[in-house]
A and B are shown apart, each in its own frame.
Chain A
Amino acid sequence: MKSLIFNVIPFTILLALLSLFTPSSAFSAEVGDTISEDLQKQLNIPKGQVGVVDFFASWCLSCAKEIPDIKKMIKQDSQKKMHVVGIDVDEELDEGIAFQEELSIDFPVINDVEQKIISEFSPVAMPALYYIIDNKIVGKHIGAVNKIDEKIINDLEKLGVKVL
């Protein structure tokens, strides 16, 4: 009996640890989660503004389709209630910058070449968009959305932020 306990328990623990460290244990950021302090500094969302964090890449066709709509939406936000931050997840910096220039992106962009920021959010698909208020994720959109500008404005209205 004793030998059974001494043999079985360590292996059961090992088995449990293995299951913990397998990739399936990766989780994505959900509504209600608070972003880390490092991320807060990087995103630099001013107090009183809603952070709209948009993840994109040069190879993501849907992302390229959404960006002009986001630019249009920023222009409509005359009261500056939003702070849009783009996160370019291209592994090649040159490709990312060329893509940003091609689309004439005029909002702040962080080049996440090492893909550390997106790993913290771990969205299940691209493009991914998150709303952040007081360092807390209050909403998200995963995957391509038609007329994303209208969708964001509606979402923010539901959150009590009137953009227009």
Chain B
Amino acid sequence: MKIKLLLIICCFTCSACSIVPVKPWQKGTLADETMRFGGPNPMIKKFDEHIYTSKEGSKGGGGVSGGGCGCN
């Protein structure tokens, strides 16, 4: 009985790992300008960053390169 229960838990644990990853060709929405931090307006982002850096006393490491399409 214990083994059966253990195996059931094992099966469910493994199946819980099956999060469907977004394929490179499905990243149209992610590549959208509105998906950027701070939105499509670069001025708003700059303003936000300015406040953040002055509050934190540190700078950098706030962005990612690329358009989200998985390109090199």
Contact = CB atoms under 8 A, between A and B. Distances in A.
Interface of A: 4, 7-8, 11-12, 14-15, 18-19, 21-23, 55, 57-63, 89-91, 115, 118-119, 122-128, 143-144
B42 interface: no
Contacts of B18: 18, 21-23
Interface of B: 3-4, 7-8, 10-11, 14-15, 17-21, 23-28, 31-32, 67, 69-72
A22 B3 CA distance: 24
Contacts of B28: 57-59, 90-91
Main secondary structure of the interface of B (DSSP, over half): loop
A143 B25 contact: no
7 contacts: A11-B7, A18-B18, A19-B14, A55-B25, A59-B27, A62-B72, A90-B28
7 nearest CB pairs, A to B: A143-B72, A125-B70, A11-B7, A62-B71, A59-B31, A22-B18, A60-B69
Contact of A123 (B8, B20, B24, B27): B24
B67 A115 contact: no
A149 to B, nearest CB: 17
Given A22-B18, A59-B32, A7 B25 contact: no
A98 to B, nearest CB: 14
